[in-house]
Structure 1
């Protein structure tokens, strides 16, 4: 089945779809972890890590002193098997941050996929979920490394790293 060409990308990076070939979306389960740093430190670290991973930030909002949201722009996944089984596939990441106490920030990381093909039941969806889970773990690891390095550079002792209560 040949799909029509997409229109130009919108401000969030997702191309405008033809009416006959709408986008179908899959939203991952959130991966939740506690970062042992203040929200005011974690929000910029989240931004830095997405940029280090070659994502472009679409939206960044400090909702109040107790929460923040970082959303990347959609970008195309370039992989031959994904193209074969899922067609043109776009992805973005969303991180919601919430201060949960002194020196503690809860981070909820999730990804969204968009394709012109329905994604539920797709044979590659389990592999995509596994790759996403690994990417989420790596993101948490790298944000922690960044925050600890910055803390050491300021002459403060490194933060404790405890295993997350929720995965």
Structure 2
């Protein structure tokens, strides 16, 4: 169970994973050792799964962000595994979900330009034997950045 201090600690770390035990202790009104032990417990129990740096896609030359919906024509474990393997090998696909509804998968992709997105769709996704339909939505602007999870 998480108490209110754990939730505050998690919220703080989602905003800045570099916070030291001293800084956390001041925010949470705990000693640095107590703050450090709480962080370590939350890591051990799997509440905190990793620490990562957020990169600026534009600075990396990734000018196009898109969401790509994929519908399979044939559904079975082999087709699903094969498609998942294909997606896992593509660095442009930064996250993927299976869905209910008309589309079977939703892919979030970053590409250098529209030509690269076109290549991903027409030369990689559509030729897969299980894929019957691909629909993409190009992101015009992201007015809310990926936010921390509610705690």
- Structure of higher CA gyration radius: 2
Q: Same fold by TM-score, threshold 0.5 exceeded? A: no
Q: Where is the strand percentage greater, Structure 1 or Structure 2?
A: 1
Give me the TM-score of the superposition, normalised by structure 1. Answer: 0.34
Which has the larger share of helix?
A: 2
